[in-house]
């Protein structure tokens, strides 16, 4: 079955079991300041697992988008991805263990058509010290279901020490087969619920006791070992206990939390341990082969690069679709890091021309039916991804060249790493990664200290340098101040030279800009202004200022708030390259020259994505725009 077919079949299966089918929550959690991303299928369901009533009832099913930024450095093997989908079904005080096991087995064996001889199960071995028994009920239920398929499924203890023992069902302790938000039972706070789980593993090996990698030949193979033979495809959590001051007690209303990795089930369906060979990656993989002239799987180094690019562009597409646009902070930082790593590893495949936008388009095409909201944003997502690639490619070329020069003697100092970061805009993560590949260690603590020292010095210099600027010089307010300059010139380009700034108000959350214009802007005009501003941001223009006589500034076409009274000498802020001022067809045109007291960001690429939220009348002949940076 195709991946989309598996998702559809799963939701239909549980809908037929009277489960309400709900949409995936956003990758950016709502009302949860403890985490940046939705990293598991159960995360949006936690309030209901803890006792709140779900508006859709006690039986719920979904396919949840997930992103784990902590796995970025793990991508490159055959099974790790940063973005994935978790198929979930939930019982909130309704059915419990026996019913869940029966349905999970029935769906995988009969609806998906998996071979039961390749499926293995792990259950909880119990813990006498905390009064929780061995989960024989789950093990024996699995055993009965296998028998109905004609398979003798024996049950074994201590697989980590004794290996497979010819068994199919295995008991593991709480480190492997217990679920709570706090981990093992001993770490759970009073009041916290948890319970044993039964995990489902697919065997990609070719026989009992055979390791998939020779490096493990001297250790016993078991379903939870790291040799690569087995892959977990699903986890049935039986939330049955609550921790009290006196120990663990059974919950009055027990819950079921099933999570099945969609991509992993799809890999099992084609019996290929390489996640990146499932059909959802076909378009992306084929496109990269075309632009690189390389073949996936030809050699280990290139396959690693293929996987990084494939994973990262897919994850970035979904993140941008959920409004995590590339930036230097929070969720946007991860989107930026994913796209930049994708460009960097594509370079290892010989890809030196822009490709990210079209590859992102291939990703979205593969998910059109399942995620129509993402498909509706296809052009926007492609443009955002392409702009980030364009901005980074210049940095990458310069940085790689400088990096090779710096390590000519086999070492890289902290000062070198900082110079790459500060002078060439080269991300420290990529510097560290490249250095590691060369066997060089970057002292990240020393690097962080150097960055802090530089920021402290810059802050002191800014306090002395800027006079007559904004009262609020927080990072976001400075970004919005720069955005007003881009907005001002964009309005002139779209509406005409009659546009003049009539006032502005900036907070860390938004900008308000008043300007002269006789009529309401059309949706097309607003969209064109957004495109111009975001194009200037994507160009990553440098921003600088120079002091000059007011008359000289006016004679050179510099704009400003001309109802203000200026001194004889003014500061003129230039967004773009001052050397190109007046040049009709420069390679990098000056976008804006405006009289201003500052402060501003040093480059437009630091700002984010510009969005107009509202355009309205302020007074007769004056319009007002409210806008934000994402």
List of residues 6+ apart from 286 with CB closer than 8 A: 362
pLDDT in tens, 564-578: 555 677 788 888 765
pLDDT value at 19 more than 70:
yes
Where is average pLDDT lowest: 90-99, 421-430, 474-483? 421-430
533 membership: H or E segment, kind and range? helix 523-538
pLDDT at 466: 33
The CATH number of 475-629 is 3.30.980.10
How distant, in Å, are the alpha carbons of 241, 384, 388, 424 from that of 394?
56, 17, 11, 9
Distance of CA 193 to the CA centre of its chain: 29
Contacts of 291 (CB under 8 A, 6+ apart): 346, 351, 353, 355
Answer whether residue 588 shows pLDDT above 70: no
Which pLDDT belongs to residue 101?
A: 98
- Looking at residue 472, its pLDDT comes to 53
Residue, of 35 and 585, whose pLDDT is higher: 35
Mean pLDDT to the nearest integer, 66-82 = 91
- Tokens 């890289």 -> residue: 412
Give residue 260's pLDDT. 97
- At 277-326, the pLDDT tens digits run 999 999 999 999 999 999 999 999 999 999 999 999 999 999 999 989 99
Average pLDDT score over residue span 74-80: 91
Kindly report the number of other CB atoms within 10 A of residue 30's CB atom: 8
pLDDT of residue 166: 92
Which pLDDT band, with edges at 50, 70 and 90, does 329 fall under?
A: confident
Could you tell me what percent of the chain has a pLDDT over 70? 91
Does position 507 have pLDDT exceeding 90, yes or no? no
Q: How many residues does the chain have?
A: 630
pLDDT score of 464 more than 60: no
Would you place residue 457 in the very low, low, confident or very high pLDDT band (cuts 50, 70, 90)? low
Residue 84, strand partner residues = 66
What was the pLDDT predicted at 328?
Answer: 80
| Range scoring the smallest mean pLDDT among 6-20, 402-416, 594-608 | 594-608
How many angstroms separate the CA atoms of 320 and 589, rounded? 28
What pLDDT is attached to residue 467?
34
187-218: b or e for each residue (b if 16 or more CB lie within 10 Å)?
ebeeebbbbbbbbbbbbbbeeeeebbeeeeee
In this predicted structure, what is the pLDDT of residue 586?
A: 40
Give the pLDDT band (50/70/90) at residue 31: low
> Is 212 within 8 Å of 155 (Cβ atoms)?
no
Task: Please say whether the beta carbons of 566 and 444 come within 8 A.
Answer: no
In the structure, what pLDDT confidence band is assigned to residue 561 with cuts at 50, 70 and 90?
Answer: low
Q: Which CATH number fits domain 3-275: 3.30.70.260, 3.40.30.10, 3.30.930.10, 1.10.150.110?
A: 3.30.930.10
Picking from 391, 243, 315, the residue whose alpha carbon sits closest to that of residue 70 is: 315
pLDDT band for position 584 (cuts 50, 70, 90): very low
- Residue 339 tokens, joined: 């796209």
Whether 597 has a pLDDT exceeding 80, the answer reads no
Query: In whole numbers, what is the pLDDT of the chain averaged over residues?
Result: 87
Q: Lowest mean pLDDT of 100-114, 309-323, 492-506, name the range.
A: 492-506
The structural domains of the chain, with segments of one domain joined by +, span 3-275, 285-406, 475-629
pLDDT at 24: 94
Whole-angstrom Cα distance, residue 294 to residue 315?
A: 22
Same topology between domain 3-275 and domain 475-629: no
* Lowest-pLDDT choice from 60-69, 125-134, 507-516: 507-516
CB burial readout 482-517, b (16+ within 10 A) else e: bbbbbbbbbbbebbeeebbbbebebeeebbbbbbeb
Return the bridge partners of 124, or none: 172
- With a cut of 80, say whether residue 474 has pLDDT above it: no
Q: What is the pLDDT of residue 364?
A: 96
Res. 363: pLDDT tops 60: yes
Q: Which of 130-144, 199-213, 404-418 has the highest mean pLDDT?
A: 130-144
| Closest by CA position to 26, among listed 271, 247, 323 | 323
User: How many degrees, rounded to 5, is the angle at CA 196 between CA 195 and CA 202?
Assistant: 140
């Amino acid at each position: 079955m195709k991946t989309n077919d598996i998702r559809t079949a799963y939701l239909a299966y549980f809908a037929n079991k009277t489960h309400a089918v709900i949409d995936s929550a956003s990758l950016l959690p709502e009302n949860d300041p403890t985490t940046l991303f939705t990293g598991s299928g159960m995360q949006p369901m936690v309030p209901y697992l803890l006792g709140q009533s779900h508006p859709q009832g006690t039986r719920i099913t979904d396919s949840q988008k997930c992103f784990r930024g902590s796995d970025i450095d793990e991508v490159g093997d055959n099974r790790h991805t940063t973005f994935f989908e978790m198929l979930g079904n939930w019982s909130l005080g309704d059915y419990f263990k026996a019913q869940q096991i029966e349905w999970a087995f029935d769906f995988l064996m009969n609806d998906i058509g998996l071979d039961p001889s390749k499926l293995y199960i792990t259950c909880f071995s119990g813990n006498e010290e905390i009064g929780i028994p061995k989960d024989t009920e789950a093990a024996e239920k699995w055993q009965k279901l296998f028998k109905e398929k004609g398979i003798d499924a024996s049950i074994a203890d201590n697989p980590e020490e004794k290996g497979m023992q010819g068994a199919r069902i295995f008991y593991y302790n709480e480190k492997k087969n217990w679920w709570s938000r706090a981990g093992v039972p001993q770490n759970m706070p009073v009041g916290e619920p948890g319970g044993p789980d039964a995990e489902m593993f697919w065997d990609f090996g070719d026989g009992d006791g055979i390791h998939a990698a020779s490096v493990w030949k001297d250790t016993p193979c078991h379903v939870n070992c790291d040799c690569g033979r087995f892959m977990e495809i699903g986890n049935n959590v039986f939330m049955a206990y609550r921790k009290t001051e006196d120990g663990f007690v059974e919950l009055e209303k027990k819950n079921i939390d099933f999570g099945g990795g969609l991509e992993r089930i799809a890999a099992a369906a084609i019996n290929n341990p390489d996640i990146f060979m499932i059909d959802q990656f076909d378009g992306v993989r084929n496109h990269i082969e075309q632009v690189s002239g390389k073949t996936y799987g030809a050699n280990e180094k290139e396959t690693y690069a293929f996987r990084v690019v494939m994973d990262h562009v897919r994850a970035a597409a979904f993140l941008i679709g959920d409004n995590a646009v590339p930036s230097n902070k929070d969720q946007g930082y991860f989107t930026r890091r994913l796209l930049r790593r994708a460009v960097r590893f594509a370079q290892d495949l010989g890809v030196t021309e822009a490709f990210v936008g079209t590859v992102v388009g291939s990703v979205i095409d593969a998910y059109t039916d399942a995620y129509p909201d993402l498909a509706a944003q296809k052009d926007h997502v492609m443009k955002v991804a392409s702009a980030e690639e364009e901005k980074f490619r210049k940095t990458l070329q310069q940085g790689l060249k400088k990096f090779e020069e710096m390590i000519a003697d086999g070492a890289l100092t902290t000062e070198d790493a900082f110079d790459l970061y500060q002078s060439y805009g080269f991300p420290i993560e990529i510097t560290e990664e490249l250095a590691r590949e060369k066997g060089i260690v970057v002292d990240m603590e020393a690097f962080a200290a150097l960055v802090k020292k530089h920021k402290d010095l810059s802050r002191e210099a800014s306090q002395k340098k800027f006079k007559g600027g904004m009262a609020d010089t927080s990072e976001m307010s400075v970004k919005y101040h720069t955005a007003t300059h881009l907005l001002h010139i964009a309005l002139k380009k779209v509406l005409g030279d009659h546009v003049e700034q009539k006032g502005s108000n900036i907070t860390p959350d938004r900008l308000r800009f008043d300007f002269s214009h006789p009529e309401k802007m059309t949706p097309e005009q607003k969209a064109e202004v957004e495109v111009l501003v975001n194009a200037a941001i994507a160009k990553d223009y440098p921003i600088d200022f120079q002091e000059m006589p007011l008359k000289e500034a006016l004679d050179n076409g510099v704009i400003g708030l001309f109802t203000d009274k200026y001194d004889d000498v003014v500061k003129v802020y230039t967004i773009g390259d001052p050397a190109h001022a007046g040049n009709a067809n420069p390679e990098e045109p000056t976008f804006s020259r405006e009289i201003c007291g500052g402060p501003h960001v040093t480059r437009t690429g630091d700002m984010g994505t510009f969005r107009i939220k509202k355009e309205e009348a302020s007074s007769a002949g004056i319009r007002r725009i409210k806008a934000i940076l994402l």
